[in-house]
Amino acid sequence: MCRRIWSIIIQGRSNSGLLSRMLKLSYIPNAICVLRMVLVLPIVVSLLSGNFVMALVLIFIAGFSDGVDGFIAKRFDWRTRLGGILDPLADKLLLVSVFITLTVLQLTPVWLTVIVIGRDLVIIAGATAYNFLIGRVQPEPMLISKVNTGLQLLYILVVIASGAFAWPGHIVIIIVGASVMVSSIVSGLSYVLRWGSRALAAKAA
């Protein structure tokens, strides 16, 4: 009887240790997100110092880490609420910081940066208001939002590449910049309509 009880205790401790290790491993994607945030400063410094090649390398590293943490989170089901917040936050910190820096360097028009940041501010303000007045907001990225993020990343890459290698050229920058403008406006309005309708439905219920 004593042996059986001792065996149960040992097994319980083993399971508890395994669970503890799994919980620690589940935060690996979050740690990678934090690393991506840390890369923002050297990217901005590289741009301001005119080292566009280094900035491109660091941005590619940040993009690769984004893919890695997303793959790990989905492959091993290590998705957490904190990760759902950190991942888009890391993306936005990188993109907004680079847009502002490129505007300071006069490589990006002020109006485009205002639209990009304004869209994010509208979404953040709406989410905050919904969270306080209606209920908890669950991160639900829309397809148009993912397209917009991809276009913003493409835009900063072509602008920096043009500064580093004089390629792909001004026409490409204009086309991608126009796509960023349109997708930013459409995605911002889409979020307003989605959460606005949900707020009205919740108030009516």
Domains and CATH numbers, the chain: 2-204 (1.20.120.1760)
Type and span of the H or E element at 94: helix 81-104
Mean pLDDT for the stretch of residues 31-54: 95
Give tens-digit pLDDT for 129-164. 888 888 787 767 789 999 999 999 999 999 999 999
Given its phi and psi angles, is residue 137 left (phi above 0), alpha (psi -120 to 50 degrees) or beta?
A: beta
* 58-100 confidence digits (pLDDT tens): 999 999 998 887 788 777 776 776 777 788 889 999 999 999 9
For residues 157 and 52, is the Cβ–Cβ distance under 8 A? no
What is the predicted pLDDT for the residue at 16?
47
Contact 78, 26 (CB under 8 A): yes
Q: How far apart are CA 12 and CA 20, in angstroms?
A: 12
Q: CA-CA distance, 77 to 104, in Å (whole number)?
A: 41
What six digits make up the tokens of 160? Answer: 């920096």
> Which of the pair, 70 or 6, is modelled with greater confidence?
70
Q: What interhelical angle do 28-38 and 52-75 show, nearest 10?
A: 170
Determine the straight-line distance between the first and last CA of the chain, rounded to whole angstroms.
Answer: 58
Asked if the model's pLDDT at residue 6 lies above 80, the reply is: no
Q: How far apart are CA 94 and CA 102, in angstroms?
A: 12
> Residue 171 has which token pair?
């026409």
> What is the tens place of the pLDDT at every residue in 49-64?
999 999 999 999 999 9
Tokens encoding 71 = 């793959």
Report the share of the chain in percent with pLDDT over 90: 55
Question: How far is the C-alpha of 130 from the C-alpha of 128, rounded, in Å?
Answer: 5
Give the pLDDT mean for 33-52: 96
At residue 131, the pLDDT reads 84
Nearest to 147 by CA among 83, 85, 190, 106: 190
Provide the pLDDT for residue 75: 75
What's the pTM value of the predicted model, to 2 decimals?
0.84
Tell me, what's the pLDDT at 81? Answer: 67
Cα separation, 88 vs 184, whole angstroms: 15
Instruction: Tell me: pLDDT of 171 over 90.
Output: yes
